[in-house]
Amino acid sequence: MQTTKMATMKRCLGVLALALTAAGSVRADTFAYVLTQGGQFGTIDLDTGVFTQVRAIGRSFKGLGVAGGYLYTSEGSVLWELNPANGNLRKVGGLTYLGSSYSGALGSGEGGSLILLHDQDVFYVDRSTGTLTKDIYNSAPPSGSISACSTNGEYTPGNRLAVYYTVGDLVYVPAVNGVDGDPPIGNLGFRATALMGAEPNIANGLYAVSSAAPYPIYIFDIITKVTTFVANPSGNPPPMSAFAGLAPSVSPSITPAHPEFAPQNVGTASQPMTVRLANHGFTAMTISDIRTSGDFAQTNLCGLDLEPNTSCTISVTFTPTQKGNRTGTLTVREGAGGSPHTTNLFGTGE
């Protein structure tokens, strides 16, 4: 049984946490990264099921995990880094533990780390080399082929309850101390090809994709054990083989995070400092207002809409009105979750 389980674990599908407002209901901009069995990489709107292709990779990668701003997937026992903006791939190295090769489900750990679930053993993954460090050891998994795997929230050392997988229609967590025959925590009512977890402090849901056409998306509540239909995929994707994380339609960033000016004479303007506003999402970002406060002023070339995967410049100047430490803010209002986005500005008058 153990040998069979290790072989079938190669089909496990990795994921990252996705935030929900409540079990069975999704928040705004609920897009997830997805790999399909046909080798397509893209996003899927979990409210409507609409699939948008980013790139046709054309290879059979298994699993998705997210750490450090990148996606990670595996081909056999080889770890690959996947750029979420364009689908470009970079080979990292072999997934190895004590000289042996491993494959399994990738997920998210605490602090942006990456974990691998193999045969119910949980490993930390070195994202720069693929080297594995074992955290949980379980010697006796239940019999049957694992069809989908997930982490539910950020995995912390020894936290087996943050990891979920399916055997047939049944949902399990890793066994306690390797005890065989641990009971399942619930029944999906169908065989899943992919799972994606929700952060447990926000909701108790797992997204699951049925292996039967038209491959509908469901939410399984791990507390009530109720499975709720969400949507049928559209946009003609092949069966999905992996979910990963939140892919917001609009995702702004401001860099540098906390601009600081050199000391400036009172009443005189500094040279402009360039601040960059970027949209890392998948749709255009509508900008309604950009403004500063305190002894700071700005001009910008951002316009009304910022296209996905592009950026614009904001020129900020500092004119101290008195000596000493001076602070202000740069605030951007746009059509994104968490708007307005504000960064602190610092300078010294002399």
Residues 6+ apart with CB under 8 A from 99: none
Q: How confident is the model at residue 5 (pLDDT cuts 50, 70, 90)?
A: very low
Q: How confident is the model at residue 10 (pLDDT cuts 50, 70, 90)?
A: very low
- 310 and 197 part of one domain: no
- Looking at 246, 271, 300, the residue that finishes a domain is 246
Q: What is the mean pLDDT of residues 132-160?
A: 62
pTM of the entire predicted model: 0.60
- For the chain, the C-alpha Rg in angstroms (whole number) is 23
Domain CATH code at residue 256: 2.60.40.10
| Total structural domains within the chain | 2
22-77 confidence digits (pLDDT tens): 223 333 346 777 887 778 888 887 778 888 888 888 887 777 776 666 788 888 88
Closest CA to 16 of 139, 153, 216: 153
Pull the structure tokens for residue 119. 């045969």
- 92 and 171 part of one domain: yes
- 215 and 333 part of one domain: no
- 59 and 190 part of one domain: yes
For residue 160, which phi and psi values (nearest 5 degrees)? -65, -25
- 39 and 145 part of one domain: yes
Distances (CA, A) of 336 to 277, 286, 341: 13, 8, 9
Domain CATH code at residue 203: 2.120.10
Sheet holding 273-279, edge to edge: 252-255, 273-279, 310-318, 296-300
- Looking at 207, 226, 246, the residue that finishes a domain is 246
Residue 315 predicted with pLDDT over 80: yes
Contact (Cβ atoms closer than 8 angstroms) between residue 238 and residue 42: no
Residue 16 predicted with pLDDT over 50: no
- 165 and 60 part of one domain: yes
The DSSP H or E segment spanning 269 is none
- 128 and 265 part of one domain: no
- 154 and 79 part of one domain: yes
Choose between 210 and 261: higher pLDDT.
Answer: 261
Pairing of strands 310-318, 296-300: antiparallel
- 199 and 73 part of one domain: yes
Choose between 169 and 45: higher pLDDT.
Answer: 169
229-270 confidence digits (pLDDT tens): 888 888 766 666 666 554 445 567 788 878 999 999 999 999
- Looking at 217, 246, 275, the residue that finishes a domain is 246
- 292 and 339 part of one domain: yes
Question: Of the given ranges (71-75, 101-105, 141-145, 226-230), which has the lowest mean pLDDT?
Answer: 141-145
Choose between 99 and 263: higher pLDDT.
Answer: 263
Residue 200 predicted with pLDDT over 50: no
Q: Domain range holding 313?
A: 252-349
10 Å CB burial of residue 170 (0-12, 13-18, 19+) is middle
Q: What is the pLDDT of residue 170?
A: 85
- 287 and 167 part of one domain: no
Give the number of other CB atoms < 10 A from CB of residue 204: 20
Whole-number Å distance between alpha carbons of 194 and 227: 15
- 223 and 267 part of one domain: no
